[in-house]
Amino acid sequence: MAKQTTHQTQANREKNPRRQPTAAGERDAATNRNAGHNYFLLEKFEAGMVLTGTEVKSVRAGKANLKDAYGLVKDGELWLLNCHISPYDHGGYSNHAAERTRKLLIHKEEIRKLFSKTQQRGLTLIPTRLYFKGGRVKVELALARGKQQWDKRETERRRTADKEAREAIARSRKQA
């Protein structure tokens, strides 16, 4: 009878240092920077995306854009529209359409909740970021209400006032 050997694994094994930060999940693949400026972000949800192989490779390369994208609940399913993922450079004949409608994977109970909330006047689903988690592409959706022009100006005034206050505190610490 052969003697069995035990195999020990490293306890705190680091991620592959040669791997791209986006693919390793350390950095977002795409962010929607306009979302916070144009909308009040009320509640956030995480959803998986149904993608083809060339789409995943393009997202890893950082060629995704969420600027005009939005979520839609239709027939009990959640869809992402107008999300631009550029065709993969080496895709060949099996490449994907850049702005196709993509299905989002989320629990039925959450879909029902989102459906009821998006039926309210003024609420919509806006993707805020696209990232990798455990080797899979995830999208963070926010339930959002649109800002009026005066809301945007008020937010900008508040941000400027906070920045000036922080700078004044830093100056006073530096002088003392």
Listed in sequence order, the residues at least 6 apart from 139 whose beta carbon sits closer than 8 Å to its beta carbon are: 46, 47, 48, 49, 80, 104, 127, 129, 130
pLDDT at 109 over 80: yes
The answer to whether the beta carbons of residues 129 and 22 sit under 8 Å apart is: no
| pLDDT tens-digit map of 17-34 | 666 776 666 678 888 888
- Quick one: how far is CA 166 from the chain centroid? 29
| pLDDT tens-digit map of 39-98 | 888 889 999 999 888 888 888 888 888 888 988 899 989 999 998 888 888 877 878 877
Predicted local confidence at residue 2, as pLDDT:
64
Please state which CATH number belongs to domain 21-147. Answer: 2.40.280.10
Question: CA geometry: angle at 35 spanning 79 and 75, to 5°?
Answer: 15
**Higher-confidence position of 122 and 161:** 161
**Higher-confidence position of 6 and 86:** 86
pLDDT over 90, % of the chain: 23
Domain boundaries along the sequence of the chain = 21-147
Predicted local confidence at residue 1, as pLDDT:
55
The band of 119, judged by pLDDT with boundaries at 50, 70 and 90, is confident
Q: Is 16 exposed, middle or buried (0-12, 13-18, 19+ CB in 10 A)?
A: exposed
Q: State which H helix or E strand residue 163 sits in.
A: helix 149-175
